[in-house]
Chains A and B, each alone.
Chain A
Amino acid sequence: MHQLYTAVFEPGFFGSAQVHTAVAIGGLVAIVSAVTGVFTVMRGQSFGGHALGDVSAAGGAGALLIGLSPVAGFVGLGIVGAGVMDMIGVRRLRGRDLATGIVLGTAIGLSALFLHFTTTTSATTGAIQQVLFGSIFVTTSGTLLAVAILGAVALASIAAVCRPLLLSTVSPEIAAARGVPVRRIGLLYMLALAVSVGLSSLAIGAILSTALLIGPAAAALRLTTRVARALIVACVLGVLAVGLGVLLAYDSYYWGSSHLGLPVSFFVVAIVFATYLASGLPAAWAGARRRQLRAGPSAGRDKIAGQAPHEPSAAA
């Protein structure tokens, strides 16, 4: 038993301060991202959510260059980017795609410039990796406070407009007819998204930021059609993915003899990806059963009677 325990939790896992910080920040960010993500997936703004991560990373590179606090850089440019995206037409479905692309392209150009100056003027090694990938293990507990405060701000602003936001997401026409300021709600949502994505790409890196924003939320929305339930499922999936990912990354240091270890982001993303793929299975099974039933009622009935008669989650 003890051997199994030490095989799963390599020595020092629970005592490591690094692991504590990583799990605390990762878990916090996972919750904020999951909540924002459910709305992002429902609104079909995954591209925006991902792009804002790159935009805020450009802000981070800029902040690094002029010696500003990274939090200000990440969140600041993210908010500016969200505002510009909204301004040049993030509302219409097709125009949104293009507006996001233009802002993203510009931000990438700026990123190239900032990183060019950073790497030529000072010998900051690892600046590129830090901006692009980030690492959950290098976050200090000082960032924890900033992440907590900004996360709370993002969550509070979404909670404040929860119902009108939901209505304008599901049906903008009905929302407008009911007197919901759809445009302003959309902008507010974009700003909350920018804060959420900015802090997550600062704390855990751009890859994980998108993965935790979209993955758990999309999986949850495939498992249930109720929004409240989807929010809870998304949070649980996100936190579990982070916890398991950190554990596996910690353990991977002991795998093999090279002692190189694999990055946390790799494990978390792999778990999120697998979860998303698995979340499609219930619906696929239900669909297959329906097709079978339609194809041959007499042939299919025995088979179905043999299986569980009431599949609980046959969410279409």
Chain B
Amino acid sequence: MFAAGFMMNAWITATIVAVVAGVVGYFVVLRGAAFPAHAIPKGAFAGAAGASLLGINTLIGLAVFSLLGALGIGSMGRRGRQDVATALALVMMLALGAAFLSRTTEYEPQIYSLLFGEVLGVSTNQILPVLLLGIVCIAAVAVIYRPLLLSSIVPEVAEARGVRSHRIEICFLVIVALATAMTVPVVGALLIFSLMIGPPAAARSLTSRPGLAMIASVVIALVTVWVAIAAAYLYNWPVGFFVGALGALSYGTGRGWAAWRRTRTTPVTTPRLTPATTERA
């Protein structure tokens, strides 16, 4: 399981992907941005199809489409409802993908791997771009960490403090887009989403402290991908299935743990880090 070169590549890239997904995903869950986090990778898949049609590097197609998607969602969402903007940006990108695919005679397994990932088929020269983009993502999160956190939890207070919410929103969507571009060729357009939702959601129900929750989220994401790869290697089932199932499982466990703790302890008096306070408005 560890000896073969391609398995080593799989472990390394999956570890990078899990760290990025754990960190970015924490903010996805905190901001309630699950739909953009689903739409950007899924729409970016069309970029890969377009790139293969033009005969250029798939990574470029993915990057261009995921950035376009992020900016489209950001700017359209400013005028109307964001979920509507996200849905329409997504279907437009997918429709372009369908148009591209109708022009190519792409071999079907290749589409399957773009959507569901081919973590066991990562080549050595794919690791470096993944690592670079991963570092850029984490660095970007670190740079806007405080305003991002503030605008995610209490948007009104952030506005009052002079944080430009819309600008932060665009920055955040671009970070999701970067994370997408790097991860889609590895874990697939659809499964990066599971990794960005399940582990952070579980982490949030474990602790309400942002720093601690982010670490927990990364740890759960790491365990998820490692177990998924090992299981995929042993049973020869798609990695994606295990990632999806483990994501749901960790979320369920987190919810169960939180519910159990609530019945055991007295009501919490310290202000908890939940967006509930903002919902009343």
Which residue numbers of A lie inside 8 Å of B, CB to CB? 41, 44-47, 49-51, 88, 92-94, 97-98, 100-102, 104-113, 115-116, 119, 125-126, 128-129, 132-133, 207-208, 210-211, 213-215, 218, 222, 260-263, 265-266, 268-270, 272-273, 276, 280, 284
Contacts and interface: CB of A to CB of B under 8 A. Distances in A.
Interface string B66-95: 000000000000011101101110111011
Contact of B240 (A44, A49, A108, A132): A108
B95 A50 contact: no
Contact of B190 (A102, A108, A276): A108
A47 B83 contact: yes
A273 B238 CA distance: 35
A261 B243 CA distance: 37
B245 A98 contact: no
A276 B34 contact: no
A94 B273 CA distance: 13
B79 A280 contact: yes
A112 B243 CA distance: 10
B201 interface: yes
A211 B95 CA distance: 10
22 contacts: A44-B83, A46-B86, A47-B34, A51-B38, A98-B29, A98-B32, A105-B193, A105-B194, A105-B244, A108-B193, A109-B191, A109-B248, A111-B190, A112-B240, A115-B112, A128-B112, A210-B91, A214-B88, A218-B81, A260-B103, A262-B99, A269-B95
B115 to A, nearest CB: 7
A133 B279 CA distance: 36
B154 interface: no
B275 interface: yes
A260 to B, nearest CB: 6
A117 B242 CA distance: 14
B86 A98 contact: no
Contacts of B38: 47, 50-51, 101, 104
A75 B1 CA distance: 40
B83 A109 contact: no
Interface in B252-281: 255, 275-276, 279
Given A41-B84, A101-B197, A128-B111, A269 B34 contact: no
A270 B86 contact: no
Contacts of A261: 102
Contact of B101 (A92, A129, A272): A129
Interface of B: 29, 32-35, 37-38, 79-81, 83-84, 86-88, 90-92, 94-96, 98-99, 101-103, 108-109, 111-112, 115-116, 188, 190-191, 193-194, 197-198, 201, 237-238, 240-245, 247-248, 251, 255, 275-276, 279
Q: Which of A100, A113, A222 has the most CB of B within 10 A?
A: A113
The 7 closest A-B pairs by CB, nearest first: A109-B244, A269-B95, A105-B194, A112-B240, A101-B34, A46-B83, A113-B241
Nearest to A100: B34
A46 to B, nearest CB: 4
A102 B248 contact: yes
Given A97-B32, A266-B96, 18 more contacts: A44-B81, A92-B279, A97-B34, A102-B198, A105-B194, A107-B244, A108-B193, A108-B194, A109-B244, A109-B245, A119-B109, A119-B112, A129-B111, A132-B115, A218-B80, A260-B103, A265-B95, A272-B91
Contacts of A263: 95, 98-99, 102
A113 B243 contact: no
B91 A105 contact: no
Contacts of B91: 207-208, 210-211, 214-215, 269, 272-273
B94 to A, nearest CB: 5
A94 B275 contact: yes
Contact of B238 (A51, A116, A128): A116
A284 B80 CA distance: 11
Nearest to A113: B241
Contacts of A94: 32, 275-276, 279
Nearest to A45: B83
B241 A110 contact: yes
A211 B88 contact: yes
A207 B90 CA distance: 9
Contact of A116 (B35, B87, B237): B237
